[in-house]
Chain A
């Protein structure tokens, strides 16, 4: 419920929010997250503690707002960000630079640990600056893959000075996001509605597979892969549409779901509960998609509380897979969608889910933490 959400105005527009991964085998929910800002004269990477123990109520409910642990100046807009491990965060900059920041937990400071200057750049000699925005980064320690407005794909290793592999002009349009499909394969989405698979073992500078939206080539802005069923991929587009792809077959999405009214900036399957999916958008909304819902079993009181809950029916093509995201049984094939922010006006640029916790950041310069997502 909305009461469980704590907000904090931070005087900077937030472009990315990320939970710090908990130590292996840890059972407690995440307590620290990182944010990156954009469009400020002075952009920052900040680490926040969401676990304000001093403010826990009698029944253990959570009241406190997140408080700042430490922050550090960042050159350019933060375009994307991901934790490499518990201590290191990889940050993609609008200047084309990729930086690893290290969080020193003993004295609560951040420092730049390693930097690949101008990992993304334009080749033309006429323009003096040359740097091209790095739009996406994904890590699988120690490997780091970045994509950019220059259509370039870089493969770095956290411990190596130079790029392990670079694919120049991998895409003639802008690459907007990247994620790992398997250890050696990555997925990219671009500004002409294409989803591509790249096999980094192959020396060929071409994608191993290209998927594409039909009709108008609406740009795709984000991509995430189902954590357990690797063939299921979700992407979000400029028109706010959610596309579900089955990369084992076809070249077009399995289903297209009408979603937001403007750019979908991020899409995330819940890492341990992948029947749940979360999307956020330029239109100021954040949607929780629950594909586990069987409508007949759900009592009607779910509609209360001013949330806009809609049931939407799939248009699925594929029948062979047993997955909530691909099934098309017309009687069961319904999804419960809840907008978690009823009255927001400015863009929700980023979200991250881990365990029972959701964190998101907006252009209204606020960060929000919900620690009882499934309550």
Chain B
């Protein structure tokens, strides 16, 4: 099959040269300045967004461009179109739960129990598809917008096709039904999915006298073709009460239909027993046919011909079967009821050829089902990937088949296996969606090779519009020890808070990330604010730093400096003085802040009682001299009058304090 092309509406490679940039879930297509016939040099002005649409199971859409000359445009081409369908969000969310259950399920269960478990998982997936189909159908019925109605109807048929394929895969691969039960499963499959005749059946059955209805025999035929013998016999009995002349004929046919041997699901009969019985019954049918027993009633005769597996007779009922796979199953029922899985491919191919009869060519769906009958699992997945407009189907089906241990490590050229490749594609699609990104995380978690890298790349692109959302993203990263991303998220949030003058929030974000550098930056902002305003903002935070104070030296200083102010405010001067001095001598305070600290010492030096001891005063003096000496070469103090006055005042205060303390200490020691 040719690879279907996707045309990006509006992008016209014949007018301009296009360039591409591949993203994780999107492709950017840009018009360059280079035209095919002499490009213009205009800058890109307009930006249009389009989504390429590939219609599942039908082909692709072409569209003519309407690009205005002169401006360059950027097209965002999203690869997983179905992700954006509102009703399908139910499918994505509910199947996520099933997927997670499957990943957690015990692989060590004994063979039979494990198989039952996997079949149940498969059925759960299908029931979600059906529920979704039902919703979509309801939506199609209740909407008045014809365009929307068309869209919904398309989705219903896509979902229905997905379920059809999945169900067949479940029978052939997951359950791997053996000869005998295989036929029963295929009959169920056909009965469930060929619904085109259902309305006809309903119409006839609900009519006043069904046997007089013009479609009466059609419905009997439908029942026979689908192997619904009891229903067929029930309906036939109505005909005979209305038409007693055919009583004998009816009794014989009814007896044949009743006696038809069927495979059983239990172990009550061996395959050989069934074959023997069936052979015997088959010969009996043939005898009646050759005797001309039904010659006077073409309807009953054609039914008997079906019973003996007459291909032409069955093919005559083409309209009632509607599909080649119905024909296949009917053929198997009446010719090869004990068909083995590996023989299916021959019957499938010939049934398709006979049914289509060269009139029409097989469609993608036919090719997929054929590949399944041929047990070409990879071909099924490949065809589905090409034809469906979502990754949901192939990703989940492949994962299930992988859990059935059916996919030998089929390595792809870029390193990961097919299961992982498809899961990555699906999850990337989820991440490109505004809301569904959270589901994608768990899928990445179950991709051992590249899941982590993908998650790291995607998670950083999630826009963080509220703190609550940031916390959710952060939790995902923390649980997976993604330290780099944790730091980056906290930094983004801290920067935002800082821009909004929310120093408290900013600090708590950098504390969460243990980002010392950023904590230092914020502490400096606090100190700067203090120097400008002469009072602290956000005391509720600074007073309650707790152990987080140790995160950065500057934060420690901020906390301690605030403690000094509190002590001072509570008039606990000696403690305050000791703390102030330690801030400088232990080099907790940054040098740029020493002048402020020394100025803070001024009122303590001026107190009535002596607070700084002689030794402490010497240390204060050394601090002041260190500071002025360190700054001497910069000529700062000499130029700045205010600073010079400050230094002079400090020197004076220190000298006076020293004088007082010497006198006092001398007196105390002397006494």
Contacts and interface: CB of A to CB of B under 8 A. Distances in A.
Interface string A342-365: 010111000000000000000111
Interface in A58-110: 77, 79, 94
A345 B465 CA distance: 23
Contact of B475 (A40, A191, A192, A262): A262
B100 A151 contact: no
A364 B442 CA distance: 12
Nearest to A173: B504
A194 B101 CA distance: 39
A39 interface: yes
Interface string B531-550: 00000011111001111100
Contact of A347 (B94, B434, B472): B472
Contacts of A149: 466-467, 502, 505
Contacts of A3: none
Interface in B488-503: 499-503
A347 B468 CA distance: 12
B323 interface: no
Interface stretch (A5-13, A139-147, A178-186, A314-322): A5-13
A265 to B, nearest CB: 9
A122 B86 CA distance: 34
Interface string B50-88: 000000000000000000000000000000000000110
A282 B475 CA distance: 9
A219 B499 contact: no
Interface residues of B, number: 43
Interface string A188-210: 00011010000000000000001
A215 B544 contact: no
Contact of A79 (B468, B501, B505, B547): B468
Nearest to A196: B540
A124 B500 contact: yes
A338 interface: no
Q: Is the interface of B mostly helix, strand, loop or mixed?
A: helix
Given A94-B466, A365-B90, A192 B435 contact: no
A364 B96 contact: yes
Interface string B386-419: 0000000000000000000000000000000000
Interface string B553-565: 0000000000000
A20 to B, nearest CB: 25
B106 to A, nearest CB: 14
A160 interface: no
B508 A191 contact: yes
A115 B475 CA distance: 33
B93 A192 contact: no
Q: Which of B442, B501, B545 has the most CB of A within 10 A?
A: B501
B540 A210 contact: yes
A262 B478 CA distance: 10
Contacts of A94: 465-466, 468
Contacts of A79: 466, 468
B544 A217 contact: yes
B487 interface: no
A135 B538 CA distance: 20
Contact of A366 (B93, B467, B471, B537): B93
Given A192-B541, A364-B93, A238 B471 contact: yes
B523 to A, nearest CB: 14
Nearest to B542: A172
B97 interface: yes
A192 B504 contact: yes
Contact of B90 (A9, A40, A171, A210): A9
Contacts of B499: 124, 126-127
B379 interface: no
A243 interface: no
Contacts of B96: 345-346, 364
A159 interface: no
7 contacts: A40-B434, A132-B500, A151-B505, A169-B537, A173-B505, A192-B504, A194-B544
Given A77-B468, A133-B467, 8 more contacts: A9-B89, A173-B508, A194-B544, A263-B471, A263-B475, A346-B96, A346-B439, A365-B93
